[in-house]
Chain A
Amino acid sequence: MAVGPSRQGGPGLGDSSRGLQLRVAGAACALVAAGIHLALAFSDLIPGESTRGPAFALMGLGFAACAVALFIRKLELDVLVLVYVAALILAYVGTRDERPVEAIGLSSKAVESALLVIVAILVARRRALETTG
């Protein structure tokens, strides 16, 4: 798996060194989000919300997979990461009427929002490069 800068066609299309920096930053955000979700899967850290169980473990593993997917450098996988993160942020926002809003959740969503912005930039850059050739 090549992770270095590349301007050739194929999987590395359009990934300059700036693109690589964005991918590293995105992977770091994804790993932080994965760590938070895995920690919540193993213990109920949020008062008033039961998080222990397979759901949060799978969400954490999904974020870890996102970190790996970012380095495969395919547009389709970048879009997949984008939809995954957006879906989890939507799910968080949609469930706050009956579940608590607190620091751990907000911290996780802040990191996920940063990841969402980074991946959106990566997708936009890739699409711009593909359309201009």
Chain B
Amino acid sequence: MILRAAAIVVGIVGLYLDVWHSNVLPFSHNAVGLGNNHSIHAVVGLALLILAAWLWVRAGKAAPA
């Protein structure tokens, strides 16, 4: 359960870092103070999405049948 919750949180943060670059959107990277280094946001976001998928798979394996 805790792994699935972690996977969801990490996935949401990863999506946020990969998508929310523009000022048009509320709570964009610029608006919250993350700055203009969008390439770094994208790389970290992608890493977090991969991590979220891995956590989800591991949670499925750890869950009792």
Contact = CB atoms under 8 A, between A and B. Distances in A.
Interface of A: 50-56, 58, 72, 74, 76-77, 79-80, 83, 87, 90-91, 94-95, 99
Nearest to A75: B58
Contact of A87 (B2, B35, B47): B47
Given A76-B58, A80-B6, A95 B37 contact: yes
Given A79-B51, A80-B51, A91 B40 contact: yes
A53 B51 contact: no
Contacts of A52: 33
11 contacts: A53-B32, A55-B32, A55-B34, A76-B55, A76-B58, A83-B51, A87-B44, A87-B47, A90-B43, A94-B40, A95-B37
B3 interface: yes
Interface of B: 2-3, 6, 10, 32-35, 37, 40, 43-44, 47-48, 51, 54-55, 58-59
B48 A87 contact: yes
A76 B4 CA distance: 11
B51 A54 contact: no
Chain B facing A: main interface SS: helix
Given A55-B33, A72-B2, A80-B6, 8 more contacts: A50-B33, A74-B2, A80-B55, A87-B44, A90-B44, A91-B37, A91-B44, A94-B40
A50 B59 CA distance: 39
A87 B43 CA distance: 9
Contacts of B35: 95, 99
A79 B59 CA distance: 13
Q: Which of B33, B51, B55 is packed against the most chain A CB atoms within 10 Å?
A: B33
